[in-house]
Amino acid sequence: MDFKSNEKKWQEIWDKEGRYKAVDFSDKPKYYILVEFPYPSGSGLHVGHTPSQIAMDIVARKKRAEGYNVLYPMGWDAFGLPTENYAIKNGISPIKATSDNIASFKNQIKSLGISFDWSREINTTDENYYKWTQWIFLQFYKKGLAYKATANINWCPNCKTGLSNEESEGGVCERCGTPTVQKPKTQWMLKMSEYAEKLLKGLDDTNYLENIKIMQKNWIGKSEGTLVHCKLESGETFDIFTTCIETIFGITYFVLAPEHELVKKLKDKIKNYDEVEKYILKTSSKSEFERTQMLKEKTGCLLEGIYAINPVNGKKVPVYISDYVLAGYGTGAVMGVPSHDQRDYDFAKVAGLAIIEVISGGDISEKAFEKTEYLGKGCTLVNSDSFSGLTVEEAKVKLNEYLEKKGLGKKINTYKMRDWVFSRQRYWGEPVPLVYCEKCGWVPVPDDELPVTLPKVDKYKPSDDGESPLSLIEDWVNTTCPHCGGKARRETDVMPNWAGSSWYWLRYIDPHNDKEFASLEKLKYWNKVDLYNGGGEHVTRHLLYARFWHKFLYDNGFVLNPEPFDRRVQQGIILASDGSKMSKSRGNVVDPLKYVREYGADVTRLAHMFMGDYVEAKPWREDTMKPCERLLNRIVALSDRVVKDKSDENKTILAQSIKKVSEDIDGLKFNTAISQIMVLTTALEKASVVSEEDYKVLLSLVCPFAPHTAEELWQELDFGGRVDDSWPTYKEEDLKAGQVEIAVQVNSKIVARVMINPDDSQENILNTIKTSDTLKSYLDGKQIVKEIYVPARLVNLIVK
RNA sequence: GCCGGUGUGGCGGAAUGGCAGACGCACGGGACUUAAAAUCCCGAGUUCGCAAGGACGUGUGGGUUCGACUCCCACCACCGGCACCA
């Protein structure tokens, strides 16, 4: 049989039957498998996309055989820059470009025989989809979690245009090479920081891989510390945040972020304001890239005539501004303790400031004695008034108590995670559904007028003032205020790429609902995603955004559980065969269809999975095609030998194979599952009898990997029912073989191998071995001081 | 710098503290064939040896153990993420 020629046939049968449609409210237990939906780019589906879809397909097919009602859907995350740029360049509409790309992606996926439920296909650029993206945004707005604020955008002074982070990588404009600058712009923000603690805590209720949890934790970046109220000599107050309150007596200066509000307030009191203003200007023109390049050299500017008071000892110290203090983190102001913080140390050296040791046990003549070195070592405070002599740990507690009692400060937590800049000055994204009215201010578009659709234009170009291209489309921008009916203008920013993917798994649950994004009944039935597979590059962005939206929806009663995904796994990235990243621009993209045409879908699927450990990154290689083709050929050839007789000749290897393949699929160890299928095939080839029952097990096990071939053979042999009707089971007692070979060691060195019956008693086995001829020379005249028996594995005799 | 991960034959990769190298690729030998392809059988970690057999072997150096790829300590290399986070 040539299995390749039957693949199309089975794909059509599955389609026609709707075999893989997930059934809402079925009595079967449900299992929801999600694989990240692709961005339908012009370069087509490539082998970077396929491993995860194939792997999850294998899990889905196995789960269905086990009796689960499996939801395994697919869709398209189609808004985004590449399509927009492609459309501008070629003068076509992004809508057309998107639908062309989707058609080709879909064709590629279908030819691999992936069992997606296509009746639930979604597309983030579909009006019926982004209607709900906009609706959810408005819920954020109505709860006060969407707000306008000034944030920086990357700006090319030459092209006079705003750039995405991708377009300004390395700090230069992608188009003209001019260094980009940061330009402040009013933008929509989502108050993600309000969910920092919930996002952190919620991780405990998930089964993500441990490294994924750690990455998210690091990104959220919780710090426990102390907020301290400080005063200037002239009476103004400001707060600082520190995680090292024990070093507060070591303050020799304070530093404010250049953007700190106090700086402007003090304008009249700062003697060198000209100089200060210059420094601020210099900082603000620096790009993010430049600022991170400045790791070593510390710069700053003294605020002449300004002094601050150390709240714990009343000491008068100078105040600086410096760009190593970030406005957006903590309070935008820090205490300078050069003795115990390396950055402060560097700054103090440059500025010629005093360095006072307050934690004993280190050497501060060359560098700071930092918390990573002194924590947990029993170091004590010095030069700290009544707190001197306490250990660091004691001092932390006592100082916090002291500050709290005196009203000088309190314990707080801060987070590195910032609010989400939710505006893009682009065309190809979801319009932000708000209008601005001179009288009423920002007014949400009423629900019954959603979606606010993108104006369909033949051609458009980016504006040259940093505004969205939409701002040039006058008859779209001008509208009436939903509130007062007066003249109003639409928001012209669109949402970022990440918007549509922040809730898409909910839409699969109820994709055609035009009353709600999904009904509560269906949400209740499907509950959460049981298994979510995606790329490592999405762990800190998409995965966090998605959890944020979900938690917000949960808090407002729109979904029924606080976490969207139970188990999160990731596939290793597939690189080009030379180890470089696969991309259209490098011209090293590998099309899976090439292999489907040459070897068929089943071989291609097997080869993908046999390439190595699923979770490890690896270069694409095609030398796994042939052995997988050989495996299927052998299984086909074996069908000629199948007889109706019963036989338990193969029961051990069958039981072992069922166990191994089942466990390996659950554990995503697809390569070793295929190895086991190879081992089983070899065993059946060598067996004197291959019974129908034996062969059925083989087909069932191979079915998730090579479904077309398994179906075809099952039908050809007229086994009745379907190959994927059930998943084979085994008896525990069949796992053990009657006789096994074990190793015999003397003083931990292997001296012999013997066959034993593993059910025999330890005493018997040891006696037989000790008295055997082969061991004689090793044991004669020696005394056995210790005997070790590892059941069914080895015997180790320690002699003297 | 910080946080993760990974280091095993010529190659991809297997191994609940218990026979390292399963299963494959490539390779060598053989069978079938006029020949090739396909298929099948056999061999193979490295090294010394004609052989029997020996020595050495999971990044490096130590340690725990009857026994370590696996556990502990120190280090090296590569990959990924974060990066002036107070």
Q: What is the pLDDT of residues A126-154, one digit of tens each?
A: 999 999 999 999 999 999 999 998 887 77
The single-letter DSSP state of residue A494 is B
Amino acid A183: pLDDT? 79
Amino acid A210: pLDDT? 87
The contacts of residue A603 (CB under 8 Å, 6+ apart) are: A595, A625, A628, A629, A632, A706
Q: Contact at 8 Å (CB) between A125 and A78?
A: yes
Q: How far is Cα A543 from Cα A563, in angstroms, rounded to an integer?
A: 11
Q: How far is Cα A375 from Cα A361, in angstroms, rounded to an integer?
A: 11
Among A395, A347, A345, CA closest to A374: A395
For the CA of A623 and the C1' of B44, the distance in angstroms is 20
Q: What is the CA radius of gyration of chain A?
A: 34
Q: Which nucleotide is nearest to A294 (CA to C1')?
A: B84
Q: Which nucleotide is nearest to A346 (CA to C1')?
A: B84
For the CA of A743 and the C1' of B68, the distance in angstroms is 17
For the CA of A526 and the C1' of B63, the distance in angstroms is 52
For the CA of A713 and the C1' of B36, the distance in angstroms is 31
For the CA of A712 and the C1' of B38, the distance in angstroms is 23
Q: Which nucleotide is nearest to A290 (CA to C1')?
A: B84
> Which nucleotides on strand B sit less than 7 A from a protein beta carbon?
2-6, 12-16, 18-20, 22-26, 38-41, 66-67, 79-86
Amino acid A381: pLDDT? 94
Count of beta carbons in the 10 Å neighbourhood of residue A257: 24
Q: How far is Cα A581 from Cα A588, in angstroms, rounded to an integer?
A: 8
Percentages of chain A per state (helix, strand, coil), in multiples of 5 = 40, 20, 40
pLDDT digits (tens, 9 = 90+) for A687-717: 999 999 999 999 999 999 999 999 999 999 9
For the CA of A629 and the C1' of B42, the distance in angstroms is 23
For the CA of A87 and the C1' of B11, the distance in angstroms is 44
Q: What's the token pair of residue A86?
A: 């492609």
Please name the residue whose C-alpha is nearest to the C1' of nucleotide B38.
Answer: A630
Q: Is the ipTM of this complex over 0.90?
A: yes
Q: Which nucleotide is nearest to A790 (CA to C1')?
A: B18
For the CA of A772 and the C1' of B55, the distance in angstroms is 28
Please name the residue whose C-alpha is nearest to the C1' of nucleotide B81.
Answer: A215
Amino acid A90: pLDDT? 81
Amino acid A365: pLDDT? 87
Give this prediction's pTM. 0.93
Q: Which nucleotide is nearest to A675 (CA to C1')?
A: B23
Residues of chain A predicted below pLDDT 70: 1-3, 159-161, 164-167, 169-171, 174-175, 286-296, 458-460, 462
Amino acid A557: pLDDT? 97
Among A461, A477, A458, A479, CA closest to A469: A461
Among A576, A544, A512, CA closest to A419: A544
Q: Which nucleotide is nearest to A792 (CA to C1')?
A: B18
Amino acid A699: pLDDT? 97
Amino acid A184: pLDDT? 79
